[in-house]
Amino acid sequence: MAFCNQCGAQLQDGATFCPACGAQQGAAPQQAQPVQPVPQQPQENQDFASKAKAFIENTADHTAEFDPADIQQNKSMAMLAYLWWLFLVPLFAAPQSKFARYHANQGIVLAIAITVACIMSAILPWFIAWIFWFVDIAWLIYVIIGIKNVSEGKAKDLPIIGSVRILK
């Protein structure tokens, strides 16, 4: 029995082209083991992954509102905005940049949220305060999302808190 040397599909004897992928088999098709199928993730994991991706990516995109030159010149300033209280740096170092100001606003909202969570976890009893520890994980995820958006030159809202505007 002959198999395609590219995709592993079964071939008729003497076939010069694979009917599945169209690969030329030459004068004598090689005997090969069929390609093993790649194991699929369970459906529930695919659902969670697709829901998480949709949650992160389905936010308002304001990139078209910004000048591409402003985006290129102020990416590093905008990245600093997501590092807790460093959101002040782009406000003072690039005060004319709308792109840096947009991300500074995102950073302010994120910094306020994490500060409130830290205060709540410090004053509440431990059996309630552990809930706010998850906010620390969410903060880290939001920092990564924000910095990724900046590095790609995007002005996308963060999930849930991104629509809050403190700076105009």
The three-state (H, E, C) secondary structure of 123-142, written as one string: HCCHHHHHHHHHHHHHHHHH
Q: Is the pLDDT assigned to residue 32 strictly greater than 70?
A: no
Q: Is the pLDDT assigned to residue 31 strictly greater than 70?
A: no
Residue 2's pLDDT band (cuts 50, 70, 90) = confident
Query: Is pLDDT larger for residue 122 or for residue 90?
Result: 90
- Name residue, tokens 């936010």: 59
**Looking at residue 39, what DSSP letter applies?**
P
Check if the beta carbon of residue 150 is closer than 8 Å to that of residue 73.
no
> Six-digit token pair at 115?
């500060």
Q: Is the pLDDT assigned to residue 45 strictly greater than 80?
A: no
Q: What is the pTM of this model?
A: 0.66
Give the range among 56-60, 71-75, 87-91 with minimum mean pLDDT: 56-60
Give the span between the Cα atoms of 138 and 14, in whole angstroms.
60
> Six-digit token pair at 137?
């994980």
- Name residue, tokens 């302010």: 108
What's the pLDDT score for residue 113? Answer: 87
Give the span between the Cα atoms of 123 and 70, in whole angstroms.
43
Give the span between the Cα atoms of 156 and 136, in whole angstroms.
21
- Name residue, tokens 């509102």: 65
